[in-house]
Amino acid sequence: MDIQSFSVQELLTAGYRAEIESERIYNDLAQMVKNNYMKYRLEFLAKEERMHQAFIKELYAREFPEKEIDIKMDTPVPLPEIEIGKGDILISEIFGQVMVVEKAASDFYMALAEMFEHDSALNTKLRYLSNMEMGHYKLIEAERDYLRNDEDYDVSWSMMHAGP
């Protein structure tokens, strides 16, 4: 991800907004799923995104001590969005979108880490954050694959649970 053309303020604002949106999406998905184990995992991911927000807010305050982070500020940084929408969309399809966002977040934090190569502690934290996002990607990928099998089962054998 090439982020060199954006200011640090734009990047941190975009990252902060993306983490807020990710938390909201995970909480929304947790309300949609019926599987309690998956619900727990999604709620866990929402909490992780909340911790990422705190980290970015702290970094923003360090870089711009005289300014508050403004989540309403327009930012030209292109980050993918997730469309849950209404109607007949499979959760596995939404998880596919989530995977794209998590991969973009990982790439974003890795590129941001490169901008802070002069600060080894911050560089390490940003690389760790990038790795966490890839962990989220892998977790969601596993859940998406599970859902696909379950969704296929329900489609193929729609009367399976109808009884004798």
Give me the pLDDT at residue 160, please.
44
112: closest CA among 23, 25, 1? 1
CA distance 92 to 119: 40
**What is the pTM (predicted TM-score) of this model?**
0.80
CATH 1.20.1260.10 fits 8-76+88-153, yes or no: yes
CA distance 146 to 92: 9
Ranges of residues in the chain with a pLDDT under 50 are: 153-161, 163
Contact call for residues 95 and 35 (beta carbons, < 8 A) = no
Give me the pLDDT at residue 153, please.
47
Give the domain ranges of the chain.
8-76+88-153
State the residue for tokens 């329900």: 154
Give me the pLDDT at residue 92, please.
84
R_g (Cα) of the chain, nearest Å: 18
